[in-house]
């Protein structure tokens, strides 16, 4: 019975360690996300790049048709 108790205690301790590790990973990810530039700024930059690419393609297309 003592071994069963020790096994259960060891299992509970491992579960607790994994739980704490998971919580620390979530906290670290949230911290990193807060430190990163805002998503809206990144979307704006991508939009500008996309717009410039479309404009360049359209100009190329117009030059070919002229």
For residue 64, pLDDT beyond 90: no
pLDDT of residue 47: 94
DSSP 2: H
34 is written with which tokens? 């807060």
pLDDT of residue 1: 61
2 — pLDDT class (breaks 50, 70, 90): low
For residue 52, pLDDT beyond 70: yes
* CA-based torsion, 9, 11, 16, 21: positive or negative: positive
**HSE on the CB side for 42, CA within 13 Å?**
4
């Amino acid at each position: 019975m003592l071994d069963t108790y020790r096994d259960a205690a060891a299992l509970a301790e491992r579960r607790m360690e994994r739980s704490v590790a998971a919580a620390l990973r979530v906290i670290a990810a949230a911290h990193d996300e807060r430190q990163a530039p805002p998503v809206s700024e990144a979307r704006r930059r991508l939009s500008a790049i996309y717009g410039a690419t479309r404009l360049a393609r359209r100009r190329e297309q117009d030059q070919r048709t002229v």
